[in-house]
Amino acid sequence: MIERVRAVLVTPNNELLLIRRQRSDQPVYWVLPGGHVEPTDRTREAALQREVHEELAGTPRIHSLIQVIDGTDDRQYIYLARIAEWSFADRNGPEFTEPGRGAYNIDTIPPTAEDLAEINLKPDQLATFLINHLHGDIDLFTLPDLRDSRRPD
């Protein structure tokens, strides 16, 4: 099973940092920064650090694991983190040089249910999870840390 890591990144302005994907074969959609856990990554959190560095030239301060999404052939670990600095111009991930991958652009949006409902955030389970929690005015930083459960890091 493929493991992926993603980060809900909260900026110093209390906005969410997202990647807007534009591909010729589908409508525009947004994703959280992150990607595959590689065999060389010590832990999933190390993989997340590497992915955010590649995609944003930034370093996340990981707060918690807030969601695990099981797919048919993958499992995604969604972390909550803060990020103080990033430089999209200095990104260096392999996806930026592969032909046919489409455009990767950075967006910041307020962390509200209304703002998230207006974009096509993928995967759908993540969008629903965030919208439901933000609709109730829940501070994401008060959600339980799933790393404290029986799932190993």
Rg of the Cα trace of the chain? 15
> What is the C-alpha to C-alpha distance for residues 117 and 139, in angstroms, rounded to an integer?
17
pTM > 0.95: yes or no: no
pLDDT tens-place string over residues 7-44: 999 999 999 999 999 988 899 999 999 999 999 999 99
pLDDT of residue 137: 77
For the chain, domains (ranges, CATH) are 2-148 (3.90.79.10)
Smallest CA-to-CA distance from 118 within 34, 26, 18, 23 is with: 18
pLDDT tens-place string over residues 65-105: 999 999 999 999 999 999 999 998 888 877 766 767 788 89
pLDDT for residue 153 is more than 60: no
Q: Do the strands 103-109 and 2-10 form a parallel or antiparallel pair, or are they unpaired?
A: unpaired
Token pair, residue 91, equals: 């990104």
What SS3 class is residue 23? Answer: strand
pLDDT of residue 72: 93
How many CB atoms lie under 10 A from the CB of residue 73?
Answer: 6
Q: Regarding predicted confidence, which is higher, 53 or 89?
A: 53
